[in-house]
Amino acid sequence: MARLHILNGPNLNLLGTRQPEVYGATTLADIEQMARAVAQDLGHEISFQQTNHEGALVDAVHAARDADGLIINAGAYTHTSVALLDAVLSVGVPTIEVHLSNVHAREDFRHVSYLAKGALGVIAGFGATSYNLAIQALHAHLAGT
C-alpha cells in the first residue's frame, strides 16, 4: 500500500461553478470521491488538500515529504511558481502534474510549466479523469512497471 497525496491549488475550490465550459460541472469533492475509489481499488491510501495560497502549497509539499507519491494540480501557479518547483525538487517524492483542461490547447502562457521540470510526467485535458490516470501512473511507477 502506498500513501499518495493529492494537492490542489488556487480556484480549484470553485470547480462545479467556475467556467464550466472549460472545467465541466464536476466539483472538487466529486474528484476527491472518485480519486479515493480509484486509489482504494489499487490498494492505496490518499490524502487530499486544496489551498489558494502559493506558500501554503510549498508547505504542503514539505509536509508530504514522507508520502510515496504526489499528484499536483497547481492551477495558475503551475505557470509561474519557481518556489513550488523547488519544493518538489527538495522533497524528492515522485510527482505527477495534472490538469483538468488541455493547457496546450489554451492561451500561450498556459503552455509553460515550471512544475513539469520536477514531475515524472504531466496529464492534462481529461477533466476529472486526469486525476484517476495520475493515480494509475503512480501505481505503475511505484510497482516498477
Q: Which residues are catalytic?
A: 23, 99
Element (H, E) at 73: strand 69-73
Decide: is 52 part of the binding site for ligand DQA (CB under 6 A). no
132, 138 Cβ separation under 8 angstroms:
no
Decide: is 27 part of the binding site for ligand DQA (CB under 6 A). no
Decide: is 4 part of the binding site for ligand DQA (CB under 6 A). no
Closest separation between CB of residue 58 and ligand DQA, Å? 17
Site for ligand DQA, residues 97 to 126, rule: CB under 6 A: 99-101, 103, 110
Strands laid side by side in the 69-73 sheet:
45-50, 3-8, 69-73, 95-99, 121-124
Decide: is 73 part of the binding site for ligand DQA (CB under 6 A). yes
